[in-house]
Every structure is written in C-alpha cells, then in structure tokens.
Amino acid sequence: MAKKVTITLLLLFGLVLLAYQGSALLAAPPQQSSAATPAATEEPAEEIQAQAAEAEAEAVTEPTIVELAARLEALQAQVDALSAGANPGLANEVTTAVYLLDNAGLHGLDERLNNEGVIVASDAGRVARVARLLSSVDWPAPLADDAAALTDTLNQLASALRDDDLEAAAPLAIVAHEVQHAFSHEAEHWLGEVSVPSGAHASAGQAFRVTSAVYLLDDAGLHGLDERLNNEGVIEASDAGRVARVARLLSSVDWPTALAEDAAALTDTLNQLASALRDDDLEAAAPLAIVAHEVQHAFSHEAEHWLGELTGGHGAEENAHGEEEDDHGAEDGDGGGAEDEAEEED
C-alpha cells in the first residue's frame, strides 16, 4: 500500500514539474527572433544606404563635361577682361575694327550684287581692305575664331569681285553680310563685359587711340545729320545705328583727364540722339543733333590742342582746323557704308 502511494506521489510530482517547465518555455521570448533575424536584415540595409550616400556625393562633387566647359568659358572671359584692363588698347582696338567693319558697306554690296547684278570697280579693293583690317587685330579668345572665319569669307569675296565673277560673288556677299552682323553683336557683347581703364596717366598708344577716335568722329556725318533732321525733317533707317556706333567708339577710349569729362558728355548726347532716332522721334532728335554737332566740333578742337601739346605739333593743329572745315565733305561721304546698317538695330 505504501509503495503504491509513493509511486502515485512520484507521478504527480513529475506531472507538476512538466507543467511548470512547459509554462516557462511558453512565456520566454524566442531566441531566434531577438538575435539572429534582425542582424540578418539590418546590416545589408545600412550598407545600401551608405553606398547610395557615397554615389550621391560623387554625383554632386564631380562636374559633367558640359559644366566643365561652362566653367572654362567663364574663366576665359575673366582672363579676357583682365587682359583688357591691363591693356587699355585692346577694347579700343576691337571697337575701332568693328566700327570700321560696320561702316564698310557690306549691306549695300549684298543688295547691289544680288538685286542689280552689278560689280563696281572699287568693290574688290574695299572688301580686301576690310579683311586686312580684321586680320591685323589681336582678337580676344571669344572672338578670334569667328573673326578668322569672317576674314576668310571676305578674302574669298574680294577674289571673286577681282575676277568680276558675279556668280561666285553674290552668294559670298550674302554670307559676309550676315556673318558681319552676327560678329558685330558678339563683339558688342564682349565689350559690354570688359571695362575701359582710366586714362589719367598716359599709356602706350593713347595718343593714337585719341587721334583715331577723333578722326572717325569728325567723319561720322554729324553735320549732315544735323542739317537733314532740322532742314528736311527726314530720319533714315541707318541713322540710329551709325550714331550708336560712334558713341560706342568714344566710350572705348582711355581718354586723358583733360578730355575725359567732355568725352563722356558727348557720348551721353550721342546715346540720347541714337535712342530718339531709333524711336523715329524727330521732335527729340532734331535739337539733339544740333547739340551733338556743336559739341563734336568743340571736342575735336580740344582733342587737337591736347595732341598738339603732347607731340609739339601746334602747326598741325592749326592746319587741321584753321579753315573751320565743319566736316562738310568728309562726314557726308559716310565712309562708304552709312547705308550698310539699315537693319543695324535688329
């Protein structure tokens, strides 16, 4: 009997022990989910994020070919601007060459060859001189290639004109005219980004820049423009462009202190006149033409006096204005190309 009781108690104790261990196992969190599983999923995610961050950083820090080219172009423009500042003659050299190019008569030549089929004996020589002028300029990098291309076209045109070859010359005249316009605008853009240094202290070539600017100013046709606007009341399509080019030419010169203020005042008057002409405003343009004409004469005398003192050539100064030329003949000739820019302001 005692033996049966003992066996029964042992069985009960075993059942209780099993029940206790089972409840403990059910309450405990599974070890596999708390340790192994997160480690298997989190590490690759972190690595992917790190790789993505590195790729993004590389994309930000490494510029494209287009970006590099843009940076190089900007640096070149800065170098050109610095060069123009260090060499006060560069901006004036470019401006003078473009001024003469715009007044070379390429528009009129294009129309005559293609509409009338007529080659004039002087055509070849005039075009060849323009090409030679362009080839003598130390063009800044942004303009050099286009200047060379235009010069080559002009040389081809001069050759065709020299051979009296209308069939070859006519299409070349169209190309030269169109390229001339594009190049002039490109040069204006470049000139707008450079600054002309002060001419308070005489620099190499300053006397030549002053002389050439005054020469072209006296030959710009301001006398004839004054008379036509005030006596005939007629504004021509090329007037605004011609006056604007003269103003731009004057603004490119490193004028000496003795001339700087008057040069700036004349330039301002010419810009106002060009604006009135562009707007076809005869009422505003006519009195401005009188002022520009009178101030141009006074300024030319002043410049001749400065040049005379600089070079000791007082006799030349007196001869230049002794008869008070009033630019009647020279300026009304328009340098052979006043008609050239009927569409200058396009």
The model's confidence at residue 72, banded by pLDDT at 50, 70 and 90, is low
Radius of gyration of the chain (CA): 41
The model's confidence at residue 103, banded by pLDDT at 50, 70 and 90, is confident
Residue among 330, 52, 53, 317 nearest 211 (CA): 317
Greater pLDDT, 111 or 346: 111
Q: What is the DSSP letter of 113?
A: I
Question: Does 211 share its domain with 332?
Answer: yes
pLDDT in tens, 7-27: 555 555 555 455 545 544 444
Residue 162 burial (CB count, 10 A)? 15
Residue 189, in any domain of the structure = yes
pLDDT for the residue 270: 95
Residue 1, in any domain of the structure = no
pLDDT in tens, 291-344: 999 999 999 999 888 888 776 654 444 444 444 444 444 444 444 444 444 444
pLDDT in tens, 187-228: 888 877 765 555 444 466 778 888 888 888 988 899 999 999
Which domain range does residue 117 map to? 68-193
Question: Does 334 share its domain with 263?
Answer: yes
H helices present in the chain, as ranges: 2-27, 31, 37-61, 65-86, 88-102, 106-111, 123-135, 141-162, 166-193, 206-218, 222-227, 239-251, 257-278, 282-311, 314-321, 328-332
Number of domains in the chain: 2
- 88, pLDDT greater than 90: no
Question: Does 211 share its domain with 158?
Answer: no
Residue 33 CA to residue 35 CA, distance in Å, equals 6
pLDDT for the residue 264: 94
Angle, CA of 122, 330 and 238, to the nearest 5°: 75
Residues 6 or more apart from 63 whose CB is under 8 A from it?
A: 71
The model's confidence at residue 2, banded by pLDDT at 50, 70 and 90, is very low
Question: Does 115 share its domain with 174?
Answer: yes
> Residue 224 region, left (φ>0) first, then alpha (ψ -120 to 50), else beta?
alpha
- 51, pLDDT greater than 90: no
- 167, pLDDT greater than 50: yes
Query: Which CATH number goes with the domain that contains 90?
Result: 1.20.120
Task: Give CA 3 to chain center in angstroms.
Answer: 117
Q: Which of 42-46, 212-216, 242-246 has the lowest mean pLDDT?
A: 42-46
Q: How far is CA 220 from CA 182, 250, 257, in A?
A: 23, 12, 24
Burial 100-137 (b: 16+ CB within 10 A, else e): bbbbbbbbbbbbbbeeeeebeeebbebbbebbebbeeb
Question: Does 166 share its domain with 114?
Answer: yes
pTM exceeds 0.75: no
- 120, pLDDT greater than 90: yes
